[in-house]
Amino acid sequence: MLDILLHLLPLIASCLLYAALGFHFWHTRWRETETHLVPLPMQPWERVAIFIALTLQGIGLYDGLFGAGGMRFSFSFALSLMLWLAVLIYWLESFRSRMDGLQPMVLPLAALCAVLPVIFPQVHSIAHIDAWGFKVHFLAAMLAYSLFTLSAMHAVFMGFVERKLHHRELNKYLASLPPLMTMEALLFRMIGLAFFLLTVALGSGIMFSEALFGKAVLLDHKTMFAFASWGIFAALLIGRRAYGWRGRIALRWTLAGFLLLLLAYIGSRFVSEVLLGRI
């Protein structure tokens, strides 16, 4: 029992720290007060605290995924890893742009996903982990999922902010955010990189499927959702370059592509592991 608790402790600790930081950022950046609407830059100790939470969650994820030899995975680990990567990307981006006003949205989600492997401990073993083709496929897929997750949250928040600004509602949390054009540029940088990684993931899956699994790629619902998502993001990037798509159009296409991508893996694993009890 003590060994199990020690394995879970980093994930629980990171969850609590994410939650505390999320409350702190909401209190200092979003909570309405009588003070002037002056942006508060991210403080050095806040960066360190986020880094500590990332480190704790990273230790917990590594131990859960590779601690028993080989590799184990599940929908709960997938979500936890995606939000870990999302927080890491925001943390790195904060060194070049003002991201502190976005942390109250991201950190509570990271807290929830950090503890998911504790709530849903079911895992299944991953074969072919030593094959370099599989490593390329898995790493590209997880990085793409993470970036698209962050892009979807970013797009939703941009839509909310744009609506508030359209109605001339200036609040403390709006004052703490980066300019809308900066947020939009960041969104399409993330989508462009995520699209490239998704292309690598799909391409490597097709190329190495027969060598790794002994059969060609199956046109099951997972594959069809993934390719449909790829097509949506390709159309979005083309529309952005050719027609200047932005605002609500970009939001709708981003969310549609993300939901299909989420269904491609997370939905199928949740049904299999939680609802049907298959590992």
pLDDT tens figures, 201-215: 888 877 766 655 555
Contact assessment for residue 215 and residue 196, using Cβ atoms and an 8 Å cutoff: no
Phi, psi dihedral angles at 124 (to 5 degrees): -130, 150
Of residues 73 and 243, the one with the higher pLDDT is: 243
Distance, CA of 224 to CA of 4 (rounded, Å): 38
> Is 1 a residue whose pLDDT tops 50?
no
**Extended strands (E) in 36-193:** 72-73, 124-125
Contact assessment for residue 70 and residue 126, using Cβ atoms and an 8 Å cutoff: yes
Quickly tell me which residue has 């969104």 as its tokens. 187
Q: Coil, helix or strand for 4?
A: helix
pLDDT tens figures, 137-180: 777 888 888 888 888 888 887 887 788 777 666 665 666 677 77
Distance, CA of 164 to CA of 258 (rounded, Å): 24
Q: What is the pLDDT of residue 217?
A: 60
pLDDT tier for residue 62 given thresholds of 50, 70 and 90: confident
Phi, psi dihedral angles at 125 (to 5 degrees): -75, 145
pLDDT tens figures, 110-145: 999 999 988 887 776 766 666 677 777 777 888 888
Q: How many CB atoms lie within 10 A of CB 36?
A: 7
Of the CA atoms within 13 Å of residue 253, those in its CB half-sphere come to 20
pTM of structure: 0.75
